[in-house]
Homo-oligomer: A and B are copies of this chain.
Amino acid sequence: MTITTENSQLNGVDTTTLFATRDAVKETHEIAKFQFRAHNEWVSGTHNRSTVSGFYGAMQEMQHAQESVVVSDHPAVLVGEDHGPTPVEYLLHAIAACLTGGIANIAAARGVRLTKVSSDVEGDIDLLGILGLSGGSVRNGYEQIKVTFHVEGDADDETLRGIVEQARRRSAVYDVFTNPTPVVIDVVTG
């Protein structure tokens, strides 16, 4: 595939930069080591908020263009004050967002112009698990997450499905959900 300056924007993706970034990483693997971070402060009850601003990547400390504040709470039916989405609803956003970004990038890399990508995500959870009422027979997390994509663009059905499938294969969030990820918890008291 030949990328020229004229066609380097497709789906809002700068494919010239995309391929240049991939080539740079291929040459220097160290560039690919990232650490993302969030700082969370408890407010009251199940209400808490995270700030996301700095991260490490491309061999240096970096900052997002702006700091983001992300709020969670439980709805009233789960004994919260509903100041924001539950933690598990953020997981549904994360899987949709990760796959959608991948779809846009992969479509651009394959020269496919997209006109629409939307998705509905459903996560089924039986709270007997987290309430400790199942005797261990019900897991704490989602029993299943289902993502339904609607994708339109200048390509046939098979090509569009192939782009979604490749996004799945390369999705960081899909991997975290479907394969075990080590989580270490340290506690400082006082």
Chain A interface (Cβ < 8 Å from any Cβ of B):
11-14, 17-18, 21-22, 25-26, 29, 32-48, 50, 52, 55, 57-58, 62, 64-66, 68, 70, 72-82, 84-105, 114, 116-133, 139-152, 157, 160-161, 164, 168, 170-190
A149: chain B residues within 8 A (beta carbon): 185-188
Q: CA–CA, A114 to B45, complex, Å?
A: 10
A103: chain B residues within 8 A (beta carbon): 42
Question: Which residue of B119, B141, B160 is within 8 Å of A189 (Cβ)?
Answer: B160
- Residue among A72, A81, A96, A128 with max Cβ neighbours from chain B (10 Å): A96
- Asked if A141 contacts B172 (CB within 8 A), the reply is yes
A-B pairs, top 4 by smallest CB distance, nearest first, are: A12-B44, A141-B175, A12-B45, A40-B96
A73: chain B residues within 8 A (beta carbon): 101
State the copy count for this chain.
2
A86: chain B residues within 8 A (beta carbon): 36
- Asked if B128 contacts A25 (CB within 8 A), the reply is yes
A173: chain B residues within 8 A (beta carbon): 87-88, 91, 141
Assuming the contacts A86-B36, A118-B40, asked whether A21 and B79 have C-beta atoms less than 8 A apart, the reply is yes
